[in-house]
Structure formats: structure tokens, C-alpha cells
Amino acid sequence: MKKFILVSIFIGFFSCNNVDLPKPNIIIIYADDLGYGDVSSYGLGTLQTPNIDKIANDGIRFTNGYASSATCSPSRYALMTGTYPWRNKNAKILTGANLIIDTTEMTLPKMFKSMGYRTGIVGKWHLGLGDGRNTVRDTTETGAVPRDLGYGPGVRGNIDYNNKISPGPNEVGFEYSFIMADTQDRVPTVYIENGNVVNLDPKDPLEASFRGNFEGEPTGLKNPELLSMVWHHGHNGSIVNGVPRIGFQRGGKSAMWSDIDMADKFLDEAKKYISSVKDEPFFLFYTLQQPHVPRTPHPRFEGSSGMGPRGDVIVEADWCIGKMYKYLEDEGLIDNTIIIISSDNGPVLNDGYYDDAVEKLGDHDPFGGLRGGKYSLFEAGTRVPFITYWKGKIKPQISNELVTQIDFLESFSSLIGSDITSKDGIDLSDVFFRNKGKGRTEFVLEATSRTAFRQNNWVMIPPYKGPALNNSVNIEVGNSKKHLLFDLDSDLTQKNDLSKKYPEKLQDMIKRYEEITGDDLGEVKELILE
């Protein structure tokens, strides 16, 4: 019966007077570390994002929209699979790791492909590459890796970047991929297209490692005179374009990216992909690198925000989104293209480099008045900008319904008439695309192996060991010796712990939280910065 109803909805939605309408194109624009207060249409900060605002004001702007995690790799895993990241022990902040999505697992692009869509990803990946077989001999200097490099879990060997890298995005549902492997602050600092490093000269092979430096190669730790950007914590490995990175690399000079041109490059590649598939329904995962560190705006955006590089790269990202929208208009695609704009986690200011993100913030509040931030179980870690747009089909609305990115797979599946479901997602297609229906009533959020539970307006955070404040990034991470309980309706800033006042409510939430998580919660590790 459920499947019959879904199919009926699809027919009714896409057919009129027995004339079938084309399936909508889908573009998910996914920012990196963009905070709840960083989008000006939310009215919580002073930074201006006019192009995002245009889409938000003509679509649905969710005030209760969440990433699944307060860090990027777990959030991307959940978005792709519809599965809570804490169910996968490898879905942590990744550094040089193997692919964490099983190639047999259902994914968002696989679902779209099954319904006749073309599928592509352009931008940041950070879900791992390879399976441990495509490796090369470690030729790095002997000795221990300095502790302050901040390497996350999953380092399993050196990928051979000089041959085809597989599995990766193409093996989990994307027909086309143009990506960076991890993040802009990690090696290798190259683009990878369909598993091959772009512009690599075979006479100058590329080596990359997270175990130690290659003999004779300069690093941020030992060669500060070569730096155009000074590291604060963690980022003291190989130097590329004057920027010290996490990890070490050697060779591959012809393949090195230009940091200041990265936004333009990803935009151009995204438009090229759309141009190649525009005669068919398509899904594009357009994953921006901004405002993740290192923040390297193109010179035409330098000083544009008055807030230093962090503000400037958000202005740059907003410009890219405006250019993408104009391109869709010019190509006659905008009327039948769904656009979703969101972020993989909440904001952070100093995340490894001295770049004036704190000093030049001024009156802007990227956290939107929320407690915590990236890496945190408090609201600012996972509550993010969340916008859906479909010209002429979605009516402009501000929605307070509780929605999460983990629901994309099942919701899109329902929307386009597929019967594919997911483990933890639910069908919110009415809420996302039809201006009706109810959102979630509960979900388990995650931050650096720790989890908390949201149920309607209540949030319960279990006790965790460790410092309450991470001094490197100056963010409260949510650690406490006891359970914490907050009522978001009356206390959005999470300043008033109500665990003693409402012990029965606390116990009810603990019981439900344990029912959902079962035995899937892994061991809580020490906080690792991204």
C-alpha cells in the first residue's frame, strides 16, 4: 500500500491532463563550515549573501535544519547514504583514508541513476579513496609524526596517485567526478577527475603521506620563511603556494592546484558538467570548499567583506552560487531544477591558521546566537543554513519544521517515484518540496564520535569525558560529567540545564536514545580537529 501511494503521488505531481512533465534536475550546493548566522536571509549576522538570499526568499528557508554531524566526513556520509554516521565506525574525520562507503551500499546518486538520471559531483569529496590495494611503498623519512599535526582516524597507507584511483565517487553512483580528495588544507593538493589526477606528468610522479615527511622537502614546521600563511595548530606539513598543509607530498608539480582559483575552477567544471547532460534529468552534487581553511579568496574578493579572509570567501561562495543560478537561467533550466543549499556543519573561526577570522569578525555572528560550533554537540555544531528552491512549484516560506540532510535520499526517492528507502532517513518530500506536512520529531546528532538526542523541542546530551572547551578553536564541545537537558523553545542558547528539574523527561529521552542507538555506538575517541 505504501508503495502504491508513493507511485500515485509521483503520477499526480508530474502529470497534468495526461501529459507527462520532465523529472526535475537536482542540484545540492553544499558549503563547508558555513554557519547558521552566515547567510544574511536568516537575519542573525551582518555579512551579506545576496545571491543565497534570492534563492532563500523564493524558496523554503528552514530555521530548524540540520547536518547529521558537527564535522564534514560524517555529514557527507549521512547525506549520501541516509544512514546515521555513528553506525559506521569509519565515518569520522578522514585523513588519507580508504573509501568509507561500501560500494554495495545504496547511495543518493545510485538512486538517481536507477531512475534514469545523469549523476555528477564537483568539489570537495572527503569520503575516502581506494580500498587499500592501490598503494605505494612509504618512502618518507623515518621517525614519529608530530602529535600536533592533528591527523584523524583512517590513515591506512599511501595511495598511488600516479595510476587510476579506485574505488571513489564513480564506484558509489557518480558517472562523473571532479574533486579534491579530502580538504583544501590536506595533501595531495591536486584535482582528481574520474579517478585520475589532473595534469599529472608521469615523469614527475606524485607522492603523498601522512606518516612523515619526504627527505629534503620543506615544511611549515621547519621552514616558516617560506610561508604566506602562518599555521596556528595542526597545519605544519608540506608547503604549497605558501600555505602549510596537513600531511606531506613530493613531486607532481604540474598537477598542483592554485588555491586562489579553486572557486572559479569548481564553478567552471560544474557548468561544464551540466552542459554535457542538460538534455537529460541530472543530479549534481556541487560541493564548495568555502569557508573551510585555508581561506584563500581570489584577489577580486580580497577585502570584500571587511571581515578578513573568512568573510571574503563566503562572499566568493555567494558569488559562485549567483553565477550558477544565472547559468541555469541562461540555459533554460531554472524552471525545472530543484536547488538545495546547506552546509556540512557549523562554523569555526580559527581552525588552524592565523587569518584574522577572530580579529576582524566585528559584529557578525556566524553562530547565529547558538552555543557551540564545529566539533560541538551544542546547537551551533549541526544547525545549519538549509534552503530548498523549485521555481514556481515551491512557494516562498519560512519553515520551523525539523529537517535533516539524512532525509534527502528517501525524500528524493519519493519525489521522483522510486521505491528505494534508507536505514535512518524518512520521507520529507512534502516538507521539502510541497509546502506541507510535518518534519521529524526526533534524531540523533553526532560530533567527533559523540552523540546527542533531539526530540521535538528537547535536546539531551549524555555525559562525556574530556575538557568542556577546546582551546585550539575556542569552542564548547558539549562534554560534561552528567547528562544535560535543554528546552530549545525557551532556551535556544542552551544556557539552562533542566536535567534536575525534569528528571522524568530526561529518563524518557535516555530510554528512547538507547533504543535508537542500540549497540551501534562506537568507542568515543579523543577529539580530533579537522
Per-residue pLDDT of 400-421, as tens digits, reads 999 999 999 999 999 999 999 9
**Could you read off the pLDDT of 469-505 as tens digits, one per residue?**
999 999 999 999 999 999 999 999 999 999 999 999 9
What pLDDT shows up at residue 93?
Answer: 84
User: Cell match 526568499: residue?
Assistant: 57
pLDDT at 304 over 70: yes
Candidates 305, 303, 393, 382; CA nearest to 347 is: 382
User: What residue type is assigned to position 457 of the chain?
Assistant: N
Q: Dmax of the chain from CA atoms?
A: 72
CB 354 within 8 A of CB 232: yes
Sequence-distant (≥ 6) Cβ neighbours of residue 389 within 8 angstroms: 55, 56, 58, 59, 60, 338, 339, 340, 341
Selected residue with higher pLDDT from 186 and 16: 186
Pairing of strands 442-447, 450-455: antiparallel
* Residue 191, burial from CB neighbour count under 10 angstroms (0-12, 13-18, 19+): buried
Distance CA(489)–CA(121), nearest Å, equals 38
- The pLDDT > 90 percentage for the chain reads 86
- Cell numbers standing for residue 125: 569529496
DSSP E strand stretches across 280-413: 282-287, 337-343, 386-389, 397-399, 403-404
Candidates 388, 375, 277; CA nearest to 341 is: 388
Stretch 340-368: mean pLDDT: 97
What pLDDT shows up at residue 196?
Answer: 98
Instruction: Judge if pTM exceeds 0.75.
Output: yes
Stretch 163-173: mean pLDDT: 97
Alpha-carbon dihedral 488, 493, 495, 498, rounded to 10 degrees:
10
Stretch 114-128: mean pLDDT: 98
User: Cell match 554516521: residue?
Assistant: 85
What is the pLDDT of the chain when averaged over all its residues?
Answer: 92
- Cell numbers standing for residue 126: 572527503
CB 79 within 8 A of CB 340: no
What pLDDT shows up at residue 13?
Answer: 47
Helix (H, G, I), strand (E, B) or coil at 55: helix
Q: Where are the alpha helices (DSSP H) in 363-439?
A: 408-415, 429-433
* Residue 42, burial from CB neighbour count under 10 angstroms (0-12, 13-18, 19+): buried
Confidence class for position 329, pLDDT limits 50, 70, 90: very high
Task: State the DSSP H helix or E strand holding residue 274, giving kind and residue range, or none if neither.
Answer: helix 262-277
Domain boundaries, the chain: 60-433, 442-517
Helix (H, G, I), strand (E, B) or coil at 261: helix
- The pLDDT > 70 percentage for the chain reads 91
CB 305 within 8 A of CB 312: yes
CATH 3.40.50.720 is held by the domain 442-517:
no
Stretch 428-438: mean pLDDT: 98
Which CATH number is correct for 60-433, 3.40.920.10, 3.40.720.10, 3.40.50.300, 2.60.40.1220?
A: 3.40.720.10
